[in-house]
Structure 1
């Protein structure tokens, strides 16, 4: 029996942007607004120089090597508002000196108007979003630092190379901590004692990959939150080396030093780079249930024990590389159909967006079901998010990179 591909959905609104969109997120503090980050690889405007003629007898290998030229990128942050009539209006455009690769609002209830962005020049920037009557520029820049001063000079790019921040993730309950990943394969923890100063990036990587570290996520289910006590949490990362890696860290705010308490281990089973990680919950035995996405086009459900081998519970191909995963809702109230169910929005690169249910059925078996698929995008779908304030149906904004498309679509949910 063939798997149900899900309902095909059409857009109800679309617009071409000026620059390629790389990420998008609704603001939880002001849920009718959302931000789009863009990534633009600038063309070299300089006229090409003719090659130097080589005289007879000259040794070309003796000619001085040309230094490697780093790529020039810029970007922007776009602010939009979704109106009740499903119209989307532009609110603000903030040009950025570097291309943006990721952005996320702080999940802490007191600071859900604070947004972090990371860029192609290894910068971390913090913004506050505060719309109001007569406010034409609600997105306010608070501070930006790059990896060298944040690490106290311990980390810097070598000559002819560059460091990019590829992703960022807030700690889910500790508002002043986040993690970033780099193209050099490292996952770093960052402490923000204030929004506009004193940032500290811990130069010892929390996790290391042999290739690009595409994604990171944190789980706070192990200890205290906003207190002076030690905070223990799990850190998960995915890399271009096809590895999902995870370990446990304890952090004491007083000495500001994270300590590895359980060394990072690998979860095998991916056939290409691991590009998305979504922790769901911790089971009674202490194992973490999470979902991953990969370049190999599969979404997978894992059970990761603190010790011992991880278990791949179920997987399913979604037709495109699964770049981002966003939790729509998690139902852990058992019924006649399932013991638990997670509803997820997936950005699937060259095949558009998918809405899927991942669940454990009443008989204990695990399943993945596609509910809906949006395929109006003609290029890489790197970012999708849903309007959190509407409960009658799922309302989604999704983006595609090379055709610079921003779309709005809806799906009736069972």
Structure 2
């Protein structure tokens, strides 16, 4: 860990949105465009943030005082906003798609040939799929393909109990299986969903892949671990973080031909977080078979873990970023050894009440691990839940970031270093 000598960055553009933004992502298939998901909840005429509604907010005494009390009827809605970032750094609004529920997360499919497909999850436990196809003659390039709620997805096996509700908190695509994704819930569950077609036939496995005792805030999936006895079987790792301060991970094998899911290595947990685990970013598998993983937490720390195939995970390094680390996005990974380091991961972090950070996590030539903060963007006056960067600009890191209560969308840049 090193002393923070980072650069304070100023915005080059900003705009207030109509609704509070909760998530943002550039489209990898059309990299000049990005989507913003919004989350609007009115409760006694006061805006409530996504993590306050799903569970206790450690930074909000009023939310804590309401825990366990009967819930009042709440009015929630949201939208998906489409923007284009032009070459001159002008941001142009393209489309607004109102949504009947508030959005908590959205992600484009990372698999080649499907990177124009976007998944969103909502406050009413719905999964929606969209296709993004910008064309000069079409003023609405974002097309809705299908939406299903958790009861329909599970064939009726899962539904909210009377007096309670289920929220989908996060979604993650499998990095090498375009028809598989994972979702998490406020009830502490991580589910896998099979999408044999974009508009029909979806199936959520009713048995959770991982379970937490409190809200499951985040999930991520590792690539295939190779094949088993059958070439149709796909083993992979699932990582999840919960409000119970646990990082949990396990290995499953999925056979897409018969939609059969088998747990091959039961979920275990990594200790070392002092509050809820809110972000997970797998990096790569080392030569010894151990996997490197970066986490973010409500306790304001970013951490690097080494996860061996068997045995206890090791916390290699950690550093406080000054705010709860809500999301992590890999900017680039350099595994070519240099005079300065053996490998380096550059990461964009959304740090809630202190804005965005650009950090390097790296292993030095002496084998020690370090975290360096390169840049800080602190113009957001409320919770920074979403940040993303233009995927094809190499000369400067070009970032759009958001904040919740002030409904701010900002554009800023950091010179490559």
Q: Report the alpha carbon displacement of residue 42 of structure 1 after superposing the two structures with TM.
A: 2.9
Q: Does 1:382 align with 2:398?
A: no
TM-score for the superposition, normalised by structure 1: 0.93
Partner of 1:355 in structure 2? 358
- Contact 1:69/1:160 (CA < 8 Å) preserved in 2? no
- Deviation per residue, 1:172-205 (Å, 9 max, x gap): 0000000000000000000000000010000000
Residue 301 of structure 1 deviates from its aligned partner by: 0.2
Report how far residue 37 of structure 1 moved.
Answer: 0.1
Q: Match for residue 144 of structure 1?
A: 147
**Which segments of 5 or more consecutive residues in structure 2 lack a partner in the other structure?**
46-68
1:38 is matched with 38
CA RMSD, 1 decimal: 1.6
- Whole-Å separation in 2 of the counterparts to 1:199 and 1:294: 32
Per-residue CA deviations over 1:10-46 (Å, capped at 9, x if unaligned) read 000000000000000000000000000000003568x
d(CA) in 2 for partners of 1:100, 1:175: 22
What residue in structure 1 maps to residue 13 of structure 2? 13
1:300 equivalent to 2:303? Answer: yes
Deviation, structure 1 residue 71:
2.5
Structure 2 residue aligned with 1:26: 26
In structure 1, how many angstroms separate the alpha carbons of the residues matched to 2:81 and 2:270?
Answer: 37
CA distance in 1, matches of 2:256, 2:5: 48
Of 322, 335, 338 in structure 1, the residue corresponding to residue 338 of structure 2 is 335
What is the CA–CA distance in structure 2 between the aligned matches of 1:113 and 1:224, rounded to whole Å?
A: 28
Q: CA deviation at 1:69?
A: 3.2
* Kept after mapping to 2: 8 A contact 1:42/1:74: no
- Judging changes above 3 Å, is the alpha-carbon distance between structure 1 residues 80 and 228 closer, same or farther for their aligned structure 2 residues? farther
Which aligned pairs between 1:104-253 and structure 2 lie closer than 5 A?
Answer: 104-223=107-226, 229-253=232-256
Change over 3 Å in CA distance of 1:375–1:67 after alignment to 2: closer
Q: Name the CA distance, whole Å, in 2 between partners of 1:262 and 1:393.
A: 42
Q: SS at 1:111's partner residue? A: coil
Q: What corresponds to 1:288 in structure 2?
A: 291
How high is the TM-score relative to the length of structure 2? Answer: 0.92
Conserved 8 A contact 2:2-2:370 = no
Q: Distance in 2 between matches of 1:289 and 1:39?
A: 33
Deviation of the 1:139 alpha carbon: 0.1
Structure 1 unaligned residues grouped into runs of 5+: 46-65
Match of 1:316 in 2: 319
Give the drift of 1:228.
Answer: 6.0
| Residue 401 of structure 1: aligned partner | 404
Shift of 1:5: 3.7
Distance 2:261 2:75 in 1: 34
* In structure 2, distance between residues paired with 1:2 and 1:236: 28
* Among candidates 77, 86, 99, match of residue 80 of structure 2: 77
Instruction: Quote how far apart the aligned CAs of 1:73 are.
Output: 0.9
In 2: Cα distance, 1:315 partner to 1:228 partner: 39
Asked if structure 1 preserves the Cα contact closer than 8 Å seen for 2:400 and 2:410, the reply is yes
SS in 1 for 2:310: coil
